[in-house]
Amino acid sequence: MLKKEASAITGGLSRPSKMPCPGISLPASSCQTGQKLARCPGTPCHGCYALKGMYRFPNVQAALARRLEALAHPAWVQAMTALIAGHEYFRWHDSGDVQSSWHLKQIFEVCNNTPETSHWLPTQERQYLPLPGSSVPSNLLIRLSNAKIDTKPGQAWSHWSTVVTKPRAGHVCPAPKQGGKCKSCRACWDKKVHEVQYLKH
C-alpha cells in the first residue's frame, strides 16, 4: 500500500514536536478513563494538555476526529503498517487512548507487522490489560499511567509512568531541561526502565 493511500485511510500520523518519531493521536475527549479523571484534581488528566493549546485549533480537532473515525476502516491495520514501517520508534496516542479491546488487538497486529520498530503505548485504560488470548508483542512497551499524581507504581503491571511534583529515585523525564524535547533519551521505550516520572507542568 502506498503511503498516500495509507494516510487517506488512517487520517495520517501526528508529529509531536517533543518526540523523536511520529505518532498517532486521537481526540482527548474520546478517553474513557481520562474523561473521568479530568474532573478530579490530583490526577494527571486534570488540566490535560491535549485539551488545551494547539489541540483546540479547528484543523487539529478535525484531524483528530478523522483518525478516530478511521479506526473502523477494514484496512486500518494494513494502512498503519505502511505508515510506520521503516521508523525506528513510534508513539501511540500523544492525545487520546485505547478505545476498546478490539482496538488494542489491532495495535498488536500493527506492532507484529513492524518488528523493526520500537513501539511505546502509554495508557490509562487498565480495563483492557492484559488482553485475553493475546500476548504483548516483543517490540511494544505498554506503560500504565498512574491515576493519581505522586503515587508509586503498583504491582498490577510491569511498566508505569507517573506525574510527580517532586521527583524521587528513578528515571525522571529530562525534557524540561532540554527545551521540551526528548533529544537522545529513549527511556519511555526502554523495558529496563520500570517507571518514568514526568514533572507536573
pLDDT, position 56: 74
Residue 173 pLDDT: 97
pTM: 0.94
Instruction: Give tens-digit pLDDT for 155-176.
Output: 889 999 999 999 999 999 999 9
According to the model, what pLDDT value does residue 45 have?
A: 92
Q: CA dist 62 to 3, 57, 66, 71, 100, Å?
A: 20, 9, 6, 15, 22
Say which residues have a Cβ less than 8 Å from residue 41's Cβ, sequence separation at least 6. Answer: none
Torsion from C-alpha of 34, 37, 39, 44, nearest 10 degrees: -90
Concatenating the DSSP letter of every residue in 118-178 gives EEEEEES-GGG-S-TT-PPPTTEEEEEEPSSTTPPP-SSSS-EEEEESS--SSEE--GGGT
> Are residues 141 and 111 in contact, defined by beta-carbon separation less than 8 angstroms?
no
- Number of independent structural domains in the chain: 1
Domain that holds residue 13: 3-199
Is 80 exceeded by the pLDDT of residue 57? no
Note the pLDDT of residue 23: 97
What is the mean pLDDT of the segment spanning 2-29?
A: 94
